[in-house]
């Protein structure tokens, strides 16, 4: 795949939504141990609804992918009014802001979207790298995508490959991080050697994109 067209954007997010539907129970079980137990529901509901929201906003966006994502992300936020839901919808909106005026997603636009998404998560969650959150999977993916896109011979697929590998490594690295947010911070000792469930969700989001592109 060389590029993602405006018309294909709902398909891209449909792939992500489908993966979260498959992983819903797994994520809920992980979250029940150190969180509220609803992570899988939030991710599957939010990303499951996004393709339809994108379709509904397509006429108004008039071929502008950035505008499409910003409008659909705003609608998504009302469907999943939870901390993670707001993080994800903000990420989609900020990623969309980075693509304002773009009519297709190539290697550079993919990197710009992921960098914008990560910035949205950081801004909304007021989190930093190393605090054992979804950001620890998303930020490495964004940075790797940006670096890969600037390389000679880069393609949409090679940029996505780099992002996915970095997300997996970032997720794995959370095993050695000390949590500072939520119930996990209270039970920090139980987190040692265990990947953060939010980072796993972030990695699945990147995986869904990878499955579609590659």
Instruction: Note the pLDDT tens digit of each residue in 95-104.
Output: 999 999 999 9
Q: Which two tokens stand for residue 64?
A: 């502008």
* Confidence band of 183 (pLDDT split at 50, 70, 90): low
Residue 123: the pLDDT is: 94
Q: Which residue range is the domain that position 55 belongs to?
A: 4-213
Mean of per-residue pLDDT scores for the chain:
94
Residue 180: the pLDDT is: 72
Mapping DSSP to helix (H, G, I), strand (E, B) and coil, where does residue 5 land?
Answer: strand
Q: Does the pLDDT of residue 186 top 60, yes or no? A: no
Task: Tell me the C-alpha distance between 22 and 173, whole Å.
Answer: 24
Q: pLDDT tens digits, residue range 144-168?
A: 999 999 999 999 999 999 999 999 9
Q: Does the pLDDT of residue 67 top 90, yes or no? A: yes
Compute the average pLDDT of residues 188-213. 89
Task: From residue 188, give the alpha-carbon distance in Å to each of 33, 38, 43, 178, 191.
Answer: 12, 20, 24, 6, 5
Q: Does the pLDDT of residue 189 top 80, yes or no? A: no
Residue bearing tokens 């990560």: 118
Q: How many domains does the chain have?
A: 1
Residue 36: the pLDDT is: 79
- CATH (domain of 182): 1.25.40.340
Residue 178: the pLDDT is: 81
Residue 198: the pLDDT is: 93
Residue 185: the pLDDT is: 58
Q: Which two tokens stand for residue 127?
A: 């989190």
Q: Does the pLDDT of residue 34 top 80, yes or no? A: no
DSSP H or E run through 86: helix 83-98
Q: pLDDT tens digits, residue range 94-130?
A: 999 999 999 999 999 999 999 999 999 999 999 999 9
Residues 6+ apart with CB under 8 A from 96: 65, 66, 67, 68, 69, 70, 71, 72, 73, 113, 116
Residue 190: the pLDDT is: 67
Q: Does the pLDDT of residue 49 top 90, yes or no? A: yes
Residue 117: the pLDDT is: 98
């Amino acid at each position: 795949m060389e590029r993602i067209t405006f018309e294909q954007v709902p398909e891209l997010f449909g792939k992500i939504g489908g993966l979260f539907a498959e992983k819903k129970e797994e994520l809920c079980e992980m979250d029940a141990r150190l969180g509220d137990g609803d992570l899988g529901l939030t991710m599957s509901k939010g990303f499951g609804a996004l393709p339809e929201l994108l379709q509904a906003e397509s006429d108004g966006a008039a071929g502008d992918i950035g505008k499409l994502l910003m409008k659909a992300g705003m609608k998504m936020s009302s469907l999943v009014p939870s901390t993670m839901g707001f993080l994800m919808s903000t990420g989609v909106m900020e990623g969309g802001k980075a693509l304002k005026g773009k009519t297709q997603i190539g290697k550079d636009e993919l990197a710009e979207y992921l960098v914008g998404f990560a910035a949205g998560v950081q801004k909304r969650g007021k989190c930093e790298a190393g605090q054992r959150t979804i950001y620890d999977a998303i930020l490495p993916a964004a940075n790797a995508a940006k670096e890969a896109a600037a390389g000679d011979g880069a393609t949409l697929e090679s940029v996505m490959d780099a992002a996915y590998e970095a997300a997996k490594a970032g997720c794995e690295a959370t095993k050695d991080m000390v949590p500072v947010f939520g119930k996990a911070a209270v039970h920090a000792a139980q987190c040692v050697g265990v990947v953060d469930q939010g980072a796993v969700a972030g990695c699945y989001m990147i995986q869904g994109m990878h499955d579609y592109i590659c």
